[in-house]
């Protein structure tokens, strides 16, 4: 009898401990402020889908997702501590680190395995190849990533950097100015400028598009960036966040329309058809590359990254070539199985 009573007491105590542990786990939710690099457009859908499908919550994360105003701004937000994690073009990170070595950041999870940097011209302009840009006027915002990378593109294609003139404008004016013939060519992300030109009534068949990746540019593009403090103090959070992001992108690859629905919840004024086309372009051209299909989202090839950094050093006229480990770390990558998108 006494043995039975003792077993009952132990069972009650054990159940109480399990309940307490469960409650403690439920309470231990990490709040994360995450900044996108741009507005709520199609390529933001997979992050929102990860949130709506409960992937962040399942990882013990309470995530706030905010829009951005460019990769440079996203990097600054993370460096200042205003945001914990940001999506930013890797090239903006390199440029920031060169100017702010005391606040240098690292990327830890690659989002766009292929850079969407490109140049656009109307066929009727007579521009058909890079050398035809000599003596021409190119237009783009001063912070445009493709414009910043142009010196490396020019060197690779034999175009003297001083042989072109740049005209600066706000982002909404870039494509209209090309359509009206006010500039000879523009730079921009492929999935942004192509769709904006279509909205201007320009048939893609009437365009000459020069993707940097087609001219030997090894550039990676958007990645998850985190502060050194977060990497040091809560490395497991970074893995959990990336694992949830990969799940969101996997769902978006399988059902892009679901990602656009998640997007529309945040911004009812979007054009779902346009944003679906944008997301499909990003998936096809920038995310689901042969490397990603084979090795999963998030990882890099060190030899390619080293080449990309050399090209960036040239583009930004840096005095020192950064090491791969100064720019990217794979210490917080989830397991390969958790990063496969198909």
Q: What is the CATH number of domain 29-114+220-338?
A: 3.40.190.10
pLDDT exceeds cutoff 60 at 7: no
pLDDT of residue 331: 97
Q: For the whole model, what pTM was predicted?
A: 0.89
The pLDDT tens digits for 240-288 are: 999 999 999 999 999 999 999 999 999 999 999 999 999 999 999 999 9
Mean pLDDT across the chain: 92
Report the SS3 class of residue 188: strand
pLDDT exceeds cutoff 90 at 6: no
pLDDT exceeds cutoff 50 at 9: no
pLDDT of residue 23: 38
Q: Phi and psi (nearest 5°) for 221?
A: -135, -120
Question: What is the domain partition of the chain in residue ranges?
Answer: 29-114+220-338, 117-215
Dist CA 197 CA 278 (whole Å): 13
Dist CA 8 CA 3 (whole Å): 9
Distances (CA, A) of 108 to 214, 242, 315, 327: 26, 9, 23, 9
Q: What is the CATH number of domain 117-215?
A: 3.40.190.10
Q: How many other C-beta atoms lie within 10 A of the C-beta of residue 21?
A: 10
Q: Which two tokens stand for residue 46?
A: 């997979």
pLDDT of residue 4: 46
Dist CA 217 CA 182 (whole Å): 28
pLDDT of residue 20: 41
């Amino acid at each position: 009898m006494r043995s039975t009573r003792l077993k009952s007491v132990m069972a009650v105590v054990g159940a109480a401990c399990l309940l307490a542990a469960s409650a403690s786990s439920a309470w231990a939710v990490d709040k994360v402020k995450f900044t996108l690099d741009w507005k709520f457009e199609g390529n933001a859908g997979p992050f929102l889908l990860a949130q709506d499908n409960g992937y962040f919550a399942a990882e013990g994360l309470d995530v706030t997702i905010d829009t951005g105003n460019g990769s440079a701004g996203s990097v600054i937000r993370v460096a200042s501590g205003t945001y914990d994690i940001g999506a930013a073009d890797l090239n903006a990170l390199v440029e920031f680190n060169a100017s702010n070595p005391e606040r240098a950041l690292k990327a830890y999870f690659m989002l766009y395995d292929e850079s969407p940097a490109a140049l656009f011209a109307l066929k009727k302009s007579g521009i058909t190849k890079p050398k035809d840009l000599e003596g021409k006027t190119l237009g783009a915002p001063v912070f445009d990533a493709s414009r910043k990378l142009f010196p490396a593109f020019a060197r690779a294609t034999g175009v003297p950097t001083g042989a072109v003139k740049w005209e600066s404008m706000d982002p909404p004016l870039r494509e209209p100015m090309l359509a009206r013939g006010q500039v000879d060519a523009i730079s921009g992300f492929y999935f942004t400028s192509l769709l904006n030109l279509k909205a201007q009534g320009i048939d893609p068949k009437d365009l000459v598009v020069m993707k940097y990746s087609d001219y030997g540019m090894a550039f990676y593009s958007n990645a998850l960036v985190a502060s050194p403090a977060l990497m040091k103090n809560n490395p497991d959070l970074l893995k959990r966040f990336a694992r949830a992001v990969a799940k969101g992108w996997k769902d978006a690859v399988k059902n892009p329309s679901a990602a656009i629905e998640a997007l529309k919840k945040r911004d009812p004024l979007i054009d779902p058809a346009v944003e679906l086309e944008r997301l499909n372009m990003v998936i096809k051209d920038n995310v689901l590359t042969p490397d990603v299909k084979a090795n999963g989202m998030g990882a890099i090839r060190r030899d390619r990254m080293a080449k990309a950094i050399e090209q960036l050093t040239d583009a930004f006229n840096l005095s020192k070539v950064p090491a791969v480990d100064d720019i990217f770390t794979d210490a917080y990558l989830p397991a390969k199985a958790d990063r496969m998108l198909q």
